[in-house]
Amino acid sequence: MRILVIGSGAREHAIVKSLKREGGHTLYASPGNAGIAEDAEIVQLDVQNGREITRFAQEQDIALVIVGPEAPLIAGAVNDPRERGIAVFGPSRDAAQLEGSKTFAKEIMSEAGVPTGGAVRASSIQEVIEAMGEFGAPYVIKADGLAAGKGVLVTEDSQEAQAHAMHWLERGAVLVEEFLEGREVSLFFISDGDDLISLSPAQDYKRLQDADAGPNTGGMGAYSPVPWIAEAFGSEAEFIAQVKAQVAQPVINVMNERGTPFVGLLYCGLIVNGTTIKVIEFNARFGDPETQVILPRLKTPLSELLFAAATGTLGTKPPAEFSDSSAVTVVLASGGYPTENSEPVPLGGLGNLQGVDVIHAATAKQDGTLYSAGGRVLNLVATADSLEVAREVIYSQIDEVDFPGVQYRSDIAELS
Ligand code: AMP
Ligand code: GLY
Whether the link from the prior residue into 338 is cis, omega within 30° of 0, is: yes
Q: Atom 19 in ligand 1: which residue has the minimum CA distance? A: 179
How would CATH label the architecture of 182-316?
Answer: 2-Layer Sandwich (3.30)
Task: Give the residue from 67, 62, 81 showing the smallest Cα distance to 2.
Answer: 62
Per the CB < 8 A criterion, the answer to whether 125 and 132 are in contact is no
Domain boundaries, the chain: 2-89, 119-177, 182-316, 326-400
Ligand 2 touching residue 151 (CB < 6 A): no
Please give the Cα distance from 149 to 326 (Å, whole number): 27
Please give the Cα distance from 408 to 245 (Å, whole number): 37
Do strands 221-224 and 263-273 pair parallel, antiparallel, or not at all (unpaired)? unpaired
The 3-state secondary structure of the chain reads CEEEEEECCHHHHHHHHHHHHHCCCEEEEEECCCCHHHHCEECCCCCCCHHHHHHHHHHCCCCEEEECCHHHHHCCCCHHHHHCCCCEECCCCCCCHHHHCHHHHHHHHHHHCCCECCEEEECCHHHHHHHHHHHCCCEEEEECCCCCCCCEEEECCHHHHHHHHHHHHCCCCEEEECCCCCEEEEEEEEEECCCEEECCCEEECCEEEHHHEEEECCCCEEEECCHHHHHHHCCHHHHHHHHHHHHHHHHHHHHHHCCCCCEEEEEEEEEEECCEEEEEEEECCCCCCHHHHHHHHECCCHHHHHHHHHCCCHHHCCCCCECCCEEEEEEEECCCCCCCCCCCCECECHHHCCCCEEEECCEEEECCEEEECCCEEEEEEEEECCHHHHHHHHHCCHHHCECCCCECCCCCCCCC
Residues facing 376 on adjacent strands: 333
Ligand 2 touching residue 204 (CB < 6 A): yes
Q: Atom 4 in ligand 2: which residue has the minimum CA distance? A: 287
Average pLDDT over residues 307-318: 97
Average pLDDT over residues 17-40: 98
pLDDT in the model for residue 148? 67
Q: Is the dihedral of CA 69, 74, 80, 86 positive or negative?
A: positive
Per the CB < 8 A criterion, the answer to whether 29 and 5 are in contact is yes
Please give the Cα distance from 202 to 198 (Å, whole number): 12
CATH of domain 2-89: 3.40.50.20
pLDDT in the model for residue 149? 65
pTM: 0.96
pLDDT in the model for residue 341? 87
Query: Residue 146 — very low, low, confident or very high, per pLDDT cuts 50/70/90?
Result: confident
Ligand 2 touching residue 70 (CB < 6 A): no
Q: Which fold has domain 326-400?
A: Glycinamide Ribonucleotide Synthetase; Chain A, domain 4 (3.90.600)
Q: Which residues contact 234 (CB under 8 A, 6 or more apart)?
A: none
pLDDT in the model for residue 416? 67
Residues facing 407 on adjacent strands: 333
Give the pLDDT confidence of 375-401 residue by residue, as tens digits. 999 999 999 999 999 999 999 999 999
395 or 146, higher pLDDT: 395
Burial class (CB in 10 A: 0-12, 13-18, 19+), 38: middle
Average pLDDT over residues 197-207: 97
Whether 106 shows a pLDDT value over 80: the answer reads yes
Residues facing 379 on adjacent strands: 331, 359
Whether 113 shows a pLDDT value over 90: the answer reads yes
Ligand 2 touching residue 288 (CB < 6 A): yes
Distance 87 CA to ligand 2 centre (A): 25
Average pLDDT over residues 226-248: 98
Q: Which residues contact 297 (CB under 8 A, 6 or more apart)?
A: 200, 224, 225, 322, 323, 325, 326, 327, 383
Q: Which residues contact 314 (CB under 8 A, 6 or more apart)?
A: 190, 191, 192, 194, 195, 196, 197, 305, 308
Q: Which residues contact 304 (CB under 8 A, 6 or more apart)?
A: 317
Distance 335 CA to ligand 2 centre (A): 20
Do strands 221-224 and 203-204 pair parallel, antiparallel, or not at all (unpaired)? antiparallel
Task: Give the residue from 414, 338, 343 showing the smallest Cα distance to 376.
Answer: 338
Please give the Cα distance from 38 to 32 (Å, whole number): 10
Give the pLDDT confidence of 275-306 residue by residue, as tens digits. 999 999 999 999 999 999 999 999 999 999 99
Choosing from 70, 135, 142, 152 the residue with most ligand 1 atoms within 8 A of its CB, the one to mutate for a pocket test is: 152
Query: Residue 150 — very low, low, confident or very high, per pLDDT cuts 50/70/90?
Result: confident
Ligand 2 touching residue 68 (CB < 6 A): no
Q: Which atom of ligand 1 is least distant from the CA of 177? A: 19
Q: Which fold has domain 119-177?
A: Dna Ligase; domain 1 (3.30.1490)
pLDDT in the model for residue 171? 86
